[in-house]
């Protein structure tokens, strides 16, 4: 279902305050609000600085941003260039209206435009609505991989602080 009153467009620097609000809303939904340490300033540098680390699309209705899809490019030694979808976020009052579908399909089209070999993302194992959504696209849900990460304090503990 495509909602004609919703417009999908490339995210702009001026969208960052609303983007961070949506990110915090997602963190509350995922019961991890305390994990959000990102700032508008960091997002501005990382997305609009000399070496952008991410890109994003926004969904807007009546000039108000109601959703976003943030992605970046990665490289797979097995597959080549891949699009990594970090998050699709639709504000709670707008969910189930097709906005997520519009964002997802816009990201899929971006992957094709850039001649990538595909796209990937993660979904929490308890997020049944999201899992059902992705299954409609015949997405391969792989439970064999374990996610790993180090945050800056752990890296600094091991290697020391970089000046």
- Quote the CA–CA distance of 39 and 47 in Å, as a whole number: 12
- Quote the CA–CA distance of 127 and 25 in Å, as a whole number: 15
- Please list, in sequence order, all residues whose beta carbon lies within 8 angstroms of the beta carbon of residue 145, skipping any fewer than 6 positions away: none
Give the dihedral sign, CA 82/25/18/60. positive
Active site residues: 134
Q: In what order do the strands lie in the sheet with 64-76?
A: 6-10, 55-61, 64-76, 80-90, 119-120
- Quote the CA–CA distance of 57 and 64 in Å, as a whole number: 13
Query: Hey, what are 101's tokens?
Result: 């579908």
- Quote the CA–CA distance of 53 and 158 in Å, as a whole number: 25
Helix (H, G, I), strand (E, B) or coil at 32: coil
């Amino acid at each position: 279902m495509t909602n004609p009153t919703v417009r999908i467009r490339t995210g702009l620097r001026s969208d960052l305050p609303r983007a961070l609000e949506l990110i915090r809303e997602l963190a509350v939904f995922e019961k991890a609000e305390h994990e959000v340490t990102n700032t508008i300033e960091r997002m501005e540098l990382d997305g609009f600085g000399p070496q952008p680390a991410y890109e994003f699309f926004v969904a807007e209705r009546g000039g108000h941003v109601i959703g976003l899809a943030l992605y970046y490019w990665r490289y797979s030694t097995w597959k080549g260039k891949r699009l990594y979808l970090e998050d699709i976020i639709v504000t709670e009052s707008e969910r189930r209206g097709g906005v997520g579908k519009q964002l997802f399909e816009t990201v899929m089209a971006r992957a094709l435009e850039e001649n990538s070999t595909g796209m990937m993302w993660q979904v929490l194992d308890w997020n049944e609505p999201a899992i059902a959504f992705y299954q409609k696209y015949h997405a391969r849900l792989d439970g064999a991989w374990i996610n790993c990460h180090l945050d800056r304090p752990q890296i600094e503990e091991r290697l020391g602080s970089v000046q």
